[in-house]
Amino acid sequence: MGNFKEHNNREISKKLAEYITGIELRKYVARKVKQYVNLENPTVFDGAVGSGQLEQFVNPSILYGVDVQENSINSAKQNFKNTELEVKSFFEYERENFEVDCVIMNPPFSLKFKDLTEQEQKNIQKQFTWKKSGVVDDIFVLKSLEYTKRYAFYILFPGVGYRKTEEKFRELIGNKLAELNVISNAFTDTSIDVLFIVVDKNKITEEVYRELYDCKLEKIIVSDTWKVDEYYKWEQIREEKEAEEVDINELNRQISDLWINRVEKNLELDLFLIKECDANIDFIGNVRRLKAIVEKFENRFRSKKRCKTQMTLLEKQSKLLTLFSDAQR
């Protein structure tokens, strides 16, 4: 695999909603396949095979698949010794009495049903009568599951986990969902997080393993076990970051410094305007007014314990909002 050939036409890939998988993501996929399938050289099917990037470290004994880009298929045929690959749409691919050890796929993200050919739409609706609009991320998964003995591994756009249009899809997967992972820094040409799911056709339990994996750091950030709920909304795992502790006294000191410095700068500006520009500013009068204000609040502060008001909580909140508003003007 030292001379692995890549066919990464970014202009075409962009039109087809495809992204280039990073090396660490390919290794991650291989580790997951090994964990579940536990074969050195499994047979693999990929319905959006490209140049076989996702299978690079899986080392399939035979790689089956399709892709709409002929150059990608030609590269894949050079990358693997044994292949059965076709240049065609996955939605025009039909094969009976066919099963592989696992399916691996990173289908195009959010490809619209309405943008498919009339024949592709008919083929989909023949098998999935309920599919009439939206995107076809779900159909890539459901159709390809027919070709695996048990396990399937998919990289998907996060929206499939919560969008209303994929609700039927999530219901059909149900308890077959074995892992629901979030992958960060997975691609070389986009920073978006993606879902990595493992489907086990024999699984009937509700528990689902979840993890957040960072390809750049090459480690699991957080993991847990979650249960599929009755609404089949896939709750994606997130890193819980501790809220930064705020030192309110230090914050108040900084705020005080800001407005005191502002007063000092304004006085400095007035003095400059008077001396250098002959500005008509009552500088002494302004200083005396400031002194009077300072003296007034100093007296109020010294008498605060003796003259505490009997305000209700609501009145205190209202007064506080008013004071904040006035201070910002």
Residues 187 and 267 grouped into a single domain: no
Residues 194 and 88 grouped into a single domain: yes
One-letter amino acid of 249: N
**β pairing state of 83-87 and 100-105:** unpaired
Q: Check residues 140 and 240 and name the one with the higher pLDDT.
A: 140
Q: Check residues 11 and 68 and name the one with the higher pLDDT.
A: 68
Residues 33 and 141 grouped into a single domain: yes
Q: Check residues 187 and 274 and name the one with the higher pLDDT.
A: 274
pLDDT tens across 18-46, in order? 457 889 999 999 999 999 998 999 999 99
How high is the mean pLDDT of the chain?
88
Domain that holds residue 294: 254-328
Distance spanning both ends of the chain, measured CA to CA? 67
- C-alpha to C-alpha distance for 278 and 123, rounded to whole angstroms: 86
CB atoms closer than 10 angstroms to residue 195: 20
Residues 168 and 289 grouped into a single domain: no
Confidence check: pLDDT of 325 > 80: no
pLDDT tens across 96-119, in order? 999 999 999 999 998 999 999 999
Weakest-pLDDT range from 53-67, 121-135, 137-151, 235-249: 235-249
Report the predicted TM-score, pTM, of the whole model to 2 decimal places.
Answer: 0.72
Residues 90 and 199 grouped into a single domain: yes
Residues 81 and 215 grouped into a single domain: yes
Weakest-pLDDT range from 13-27, 95-109, 114-128, 153-167: 13-27
Exposed, middle or buried, 80 (CB in 10 Å: 0-12/13-18/19+)? buried
Confidence check: pLDDT of 261 > 80: yes
Task: Look at residue 235 and tell me if it is in a domain.
Answer: no
pLDDT at 307: 58
**β pairing state of 177-184 and 148-156:** unpaired
Find the CATH number of the domain harbouring 142.
3.40.50.150
Residues 76 and 199 grouped into a single domain: yes
Q: Check residues 3 and 90 and name the one with the higher pLDDT.
A: 90
Joined together, the tokens standing for residue 143 give 């159709």
- C-alpha to C-alpha distance for 329 and 320, rounded to whole angstroms: 15
Confidence check: pLDDT of 229 > 90: no
Domain count, the chain: 2
Question: Following DSSP, what letter does each residue of 183-246 receive, concatenated?
Answer: EES-BSS----EEEEEEETT---SEEEEEEEETTTTEEEEEEEEE--TT---PPP---PPPPPP
Residues 206 and 280 grouped into a single domain: no
Residues 185 and 287 grouped into a single domain: no
- Strand order of the β-sheet with 62-67 is 83-87, 62-67, 43-46, 100-105, 148-156, 194-200, 177-184, 207-214, 219-227
Task: Kindly indicate the confidence band of residue 306, based on its pLDDT and cuts at 50, 70 and 90.
Answer: low
Residues 126 and 170 grouped into a single domain: yes
Task: Look at residue 245 and tell me if it is in a domain.
Answer: no
Residues 80 and 140 grouped into a single domain: yes
pLDDT tens across 195-212, in order? 999 999 999 999 999 999
pLDDT tens across 176-199, in order? 999 999 999 988 766 789 999 999
pLDDT at 1: 52
Contact residues for 53 (Cβ-Cβ < 8 A; gap 6+): 6, 20, 21, 26
pLDDT at 250: 81
pLDDT at 231: 77
Confidence check: pLDDT of 309 > 90: no
pLDDT at 13: 42
Task: Look at residue 286 and tell me if it is in a domain.
Answer: yes
Task: Kindly indicate the confidence band of residue 10, based on its pLDDT and cuts at 50, 70 and 90.
Answer: very low
Report yes or no: 49 and 78 within 8 Å, Cβ to Cβ: no
Task: Look at residue 311 and tell me if it is in a domain.
Answer: yes
Confidence check: pLDDT of 326 > 70: no
Task: Look at residue 238 and tell me if it is in a domain.
Answer: no
CA distances, 322 to each of 43, 257, 259, 263, 294 (Å): 71, 22, 18, 22, 21
